[in-house]
Amino acid sequence: MTTTAPAATGHERGTAAYRRLGAAMWCAGLATFVLVYCVQALLPTLAAEFDVSSSAASLALSATTGTLALAIIPLSAVAESWGRTRVMTVALAASAVLGVLAPLAPTFGALIGIRALQGVALAALPALAMAHVTREVAPRWLGGAVGLLIAGNTIGGLSGRLVAGAVADMAGWRVALAVIGGLSLLCTVAFRLLLPPALAPPAARVRLRELGRPLRAQLRDPGLRYLFGISFLLMGAFVTVYNYLGFRLLAPPFGLPTAVVGLVFLGYLAGTWASTGAGRLGDRWGRRRVLWAAVLLAVVGAWTTVPDALIAVLGGLLVVTIGFFAAHSLASSWVGRRASMLPDGAPGIAASIYLFAYYLGSSVGGAAGGLAYDAAGWPAVVGYVTALLAGALTLSLLLRRIPAP
């Protein structure tokens, strides 16, 4: 017989409430990331449909990640005091409705505007969802619950790309976005029906003017500054590779169909393994040793994609993906741990800054990568990605000199 855990301990594994919470957060992650990244598989189609360059087409993704980055710190800080369940429901519903409206956009500018609004709507969700799981689940079962949330994030990002690419190949990009919007609505409804009543009380009200001190405390620490920089550079490089590889594979000498090109996103599955494996290696050998090696691995993968041989391109993409997810996993886990050890540390604020840098890197770095592709094709993209990863590698090596707080 299953029971609900008392508020003092949180939901225990095996209870009906624990299973409902895990399923609800899986749906939230799926709904969020299926919307954010679905257009990545459609960038070549949008470029042709609206007669814009590859760098301009990438704004369909950069607009969402850019506004998400700008809004994530203030919204993450104040939204929890408004009620986690209420805010997550409203955010998912608003972004899903915008997703249904996106295929009706009459112009490219209108589509970009809708995508930008989706970024604002979703901004509080990544940090708020993690906070909700942390406060609602008994500490000894937190790892499994967080794993479900991350699984929903990963599968959402992957399925959004695959579904959008396959549907667009058969029925066009508008139908593809309509299907994605409908899927997000269904996930939102399922999230709200499954989510059990909150056990933990609402957080104390936070005012935006009170954020200055904890923000300054995080930014004063050189170790955290390096980690935030690594987040920006890593994501800029990674999203550039996936944004513009589709353009290359659709063009000669490859000339692959859109649906087949969409399958390259299956490489994301290697990221799940890499994240877990890197965590174990970091525990065994130390994050300081493993982080720079993961970034270097991504550089090797980028250069492997240069030859016009499909096996080299796909193999290199897989290596880039493994290197990125390994480095991202190590850096993101290091942020919370380091922030919690600082005298004025605030792990939640530090995580929000890390995510700000992450999504800003996706927006700015990904758009700038399109300028390189427009100017000189794939070799220029690899050179640009190498420059970003070289910056991340430098910061990773500098981290080895920073003593623990």
HEC-encoded secondary structure of the chain? CCCCCCCCCCECCCCHHHHHHHHHHHHHHHHHHHHHHHHHHHHHHHHHHHCCCHHHHCHHHHHHHHHHHHHHHHHHHHHHHHCHHHHHHHHHHHHHHHHHHHHHCCCHHHHHHHHHHHHHHHCCHHHHHHHHHHHHECHHHHHHHHHHHHHHHHHHHHHHHHHHHHHHHHHCHHHHHHHHHHHHHHHHHHHHHHCCCCCCCCCCCCCHHHCHHHHHHHHHCHHHHHHHHHHHHHHHHHHHHHHHHHHHHHCCCCCCCHHHHHHHHHHHHHHHHHHHHHHHHHHHHCHHHHHHHHHHHHHHHHHHCCCCCHHHHHHHHHHHHHHHHHHHHHHHHHHHHHHHHCCCCCHHHHHHHHHHHHHHHHHHHHHHHHHHHHHHHHHHHHHHHHHHHHHHHHHHHHHCCCCCC
For residues 34 and 173, membership in a common domain is answered with yes
**Cα distance from N-terminal residue to C-terminal residue, the chain:** 47
For residues 226 and 175, membership in a common domain is answered with no
* pLDDT over 80 (residue 37): yes
At residue 147, the pLDDT reads 56
Which amino acid is located at 150 in the chain? I
At residue 135, the pLDDT reads 74
Which range has the worst mean pLDDT, 140-144, 182-186, 343-347? 140-144
| Rounded mean pLDDT, 145-159 | 70
- Domain end position, chosen among 196, 228, 259: 196
For residues 169 and 284, membership in a common domain is answered with no
Residue 205 counted as domain residue: no
Q: At what angle do helices 173-194 and 142-171 cross, to 10 degrees?
A: 150
For residues 352 and 402, membership in a common domain is answered with yes
For residues 190 and 308, membership in a common domain is answered with no
| Rounded mean pLDDT, 265-290 | 77
Mean pLDDT of the chain: 85
* pLDDT over 50 (residue 161): yes
pLDDT confidence of 151, banded at 50, 70, 90?
low
Structural domain harbouring 85: 12-196
Residue 3 counted as domain residue: no
Specify the number of domains making up the chain: 2
pLDDT tens readout for residues 326-350:
898 888 878 877 877 777 666 667 8
Both tokens of 102, joined, read 């996106």
Q: What percent of the chain has pLDDT over 70?
A: 87
For residues 187 and 258, membership in a common domain is answered with no
Residue 104 belongs to domain with CATH number: 1.20.1250.20
For residues 224 and 306, membership in a common domain is answered with yes
Which range has the worst mean pLDDT, 83-92, 184-193, 249-258? 83-92
pLDDT tens readout for residues 234-246:
999 999 999 999 9
- Domain end position, chosen among 173, 196, 219: 196
- Domain end position, chosen among 163, 196, 229: 196
For residues 97 and 157, membership in a common domain is answered with yes
Residue 361 counted as domain residue: yes
* pLDDT over 70 (residue 145): no
For residues 161 and 241, membership in a common domain is answered with no
| Rounded mean pLDDT, 156-171 | 86
Residue 203 counted as domain residue: no
Phi, psi of 137 (to 5 degrees): -105, 140
- Between 196 and 130, whose confidence is greater? 196
For residues 192 and 218, membership in a common domain is answered with no
At residue 346, the pLDDT reads 67
Residue 105 counted as domain residue: yes
Residue 18 counted as domain residue: yes
For residues 48 and 183, membership in a common domain is answered with yes
* pLDDT over 50 (residue 10): yes
Residue 206 counted as domain residue: no
For residues 186 and 217, membership in a common domain is answered with no
Both tokens of 165, joined, read 């690419």
| Rounded mean pLDDT, 58-76 | 90
pLDDT tens readout for residues 208-244:
666 777 777 788 889 999 999 999 999 999 999 999 9
Residue 2 counted as domain residue: no
Burial of 329 (0-12, 13-18, 19+ CB in 10 A): buried
pLDDT confidence of 148, banded at 50, 70, 90?
low
